[in-house]
Structure 1
C-alpha cells in the first residue's frame, strides 16, 4: 500500500513509521527541518520495544499525496481546511482519507471539501517529537475507526504493522469521549508543563478535573452524543497508562506554537453557550491557555 501522511508530527510519524516498518511505501509531508532529517537519516522510531531508523520518503509539498491509496490526515484542527485544499488537486480518486486528529468536527469538514472517502478515527497514543526526524512513543497506540469501504483491509493492514484497530459505528461518541479526556488533561498539563502522572498528584487537581468532566458530560448529553463506557474511569486511566506524557497542548506552548485549545475546551465553551449550559471550569482553562499563547515571547 502507498501511504501519505499529511501533517507528519508526532502522531503521523508514529503511525506512518509503523506502516513503513511493515513494508508499505510511506511519504511523510512535514515541516522542512523534519523533512531534511528524514532525507538524511530516515525516521527514527523509538518505542518501548525497539529503536530503529525506518526508511520513508519525505516532502514539504502537499502534492506528495499523489498516488496514495491511504492518506493519514494528521494536521492540527486549526489547519484542517487549508491542508485539505492544498492536497485536494493531487489526491487519487480512490484514496481513503483517514482523519487522525483531535476534536470532533474534522471529518465533517473534510467531507465538505473533498470528493474522496473520509473516515474519522479516534487516536489513543502517547507520542512526542524528540527532535527533527525522531519520534518517541511513550505508550498505547490503538485506533478506533468508523466503518469504511476498505474497513477489513485497513484493519488487517494496521494489525500487521502492530497497530490495534477497532471498528465502531459510534465513532462520534468515541471522539467525544477522547475530547473529554483532552479537556481534562491538555490545558492543565499545558499551563503547568507537567506530565500526567505528576499532574494528578497536585493538591486539588482531582476535584478540578471532576468539574471539567462534569461540564463536558452535561454538554455531550444535551448535544445528543452517545458516549461509550465509563468516562470518569477512562480519565483516571490516562494518568495510570501515560504517566510520563505531557499533552500536545503543553508541547505546543513550550514551542511557542498555537495550540488546538479552541477545538478542545473552547468547543465545550461554544457548545455550552449554544445549549445554555454553564461551563466555568472549561471557560477558565480556555482563557488561560489563550493568554499564554498570546503573550510576547523573549527574543
Structure 2
C-alpha cells in the first residue's frame, strides 16, 4: 500500500514544511530532518501549517531527527527542501537511507539540482521538480502558505526515472497537493530558473521589494535585460522555452503583490549564506561555456559579491 511508504523530508522551512504539513495528513511513516530550535519546536508542537489554500493543518506523527545519518532504515521517497549551497553536505548524510529503489525529489532552486543529486549519491531514482508557491517559516517555526495556488511540476530526463516521477506525483496528489507532469521537465525547470535569475538578483542587488524595483524605469529595464540574458543561455543550451515567455514573465513580475521580494534578498540582508552562486554563478558558467555574452548578469553578480563581502567584513 502506498500509505505505508517510508517518506523523509529534509529541510522543514517554507517548502519542506508545506510538503510535510500536507503529506503528513495521509502518510504516517514520516521522518523529518530538522536541526536545533526548529527540531525542538517540531517535537513539541508538530508541523503547523497555516495555508490560505488548504486551511489549518497540524502533523504530529512525524519522527524528528537532527541528521539523516540517525535514520538507519532505507526510505522509499525523500524530498530534499534545502538551500542549494547545502545540497552536497546533505547528500553525504543520506547513505544509510538510500538504495537503488529510493526516489529522491529535490524541490529546490537551480537548473542543475537534480543532476547534482545524481552525482553526489550515485544511487537512487532522482526526479526533477519545480514548485510554484509562496510559503515561508515563521519565527515560531510554523509555516505560512499564502495565496490560492500551489503546484509542483515533476518529471525525469532519464527513461528509468519516469516511473519514479509518477509515483512521486501520486503521493503528492493523495496528499492534496496539486501536481503536473509536463512533457518537457527541462523546459519547466529552466522557465522558473530564468525568472529567478532576474528576480532574485535584482531584488538582492538593490535590497528592495518588487515595488522598489518597478518604481524606476531603469530598474524595470534591467529586470527585462536580466530575463533576456538568462533566456539566451537557456536557448543556447538547447532548452525549448515557450513562445512569448519574456512578455508573460515580465508582466507576471509587474503583477506581483506589493511587498514581495526574494529569498536571496532576505538572506543577503540578514547576513546569512545565500544562493548567489545558484542564480548568478551557475548562469555565468553556462554562458561562458556556451559562448553567450551576458554583460548585465555579470555586472550584477560581481556587484552582489562585493555587497556580500562588505556586509560580512
Do the two structures share a fold, i.e. TM-score over 0.5?
A: yes
Q: 2:66 aligns with which of 60, 68, 81?
A: 60
SS for the counterpart of 2:94 is helix
Question: Which deviates the most, 88-97 or 193-202?
Answer: 193-202
Structure 1: 5+ residue stretches without partners: none
Rate the CA distance shift 1:207–1:221 in 2: closer, same or farther, 3 A.
Answer: same
Q: 2:105 aligns with which of 68, 90, 98?
A: 98
Question: Which deviates the most, 166-175 or 223-232?
Answer: 223-232
Q: Distance in 2 between matches of 1:132 and 1:260?
A: 24
Q: 2:18 aligns with which of 2, 5, 14?
A: 14
Rate the CA distance shift 1:97–1:246 in 2: closer, same or farther, 3 A.
Answer: same
Q: Within 5 Å, which residues of 2 pair with 1:44-123?
A: 44-49=48-53, 50-55=55-60, 56-64=62-70, 66-114=73-121, 115-123=123-131
User: Number of aligned pairs?
Assistant: 298
SS for the counterpart of 1:125 is strand
Q: Distance in 1 between matches of 2:175 and 2:210?
A: 28
Which consecutive segments of 4 or more residues in structure 1 shift more than 6 A? none
What root-mean-square deviation, in Å, do the aligned CA atoms of Structure 1 and Structure 2 show?
2.3
Rate the CA distance shift 1:89–1:236 in 2: closer, same or farther, 3 A.
Answer: same
TM-score (ref. length: structure 1): 0.90
Does 1:291 pair with 2:306?
yes
Q: Within 5 Å, which residues of 2 pair with 1:158-177?
A: 158-177=172-191
Q: Within 5 Å, which residues of 2 pair with 1:187-266?
A: 187-196=201-210, 199-228=213-242, 230-232=244-246, 233-240=248-255, 243-266=258-281
Are the equivalent residues in 2 in contact too, given 1:126–1:245 (CA < 8 A)? no
- CA offsets, 1:121-170, max 9 Å, x none? 11212222212421221243211111432344432321232211111242
- CA offsets, 1:247-293, max 9 Å, x none? 11122223321211111122222222222222122112212222232
Equivalent in the alignment of 2:145:
137
Equivalent in the alignment of 1:269:
284
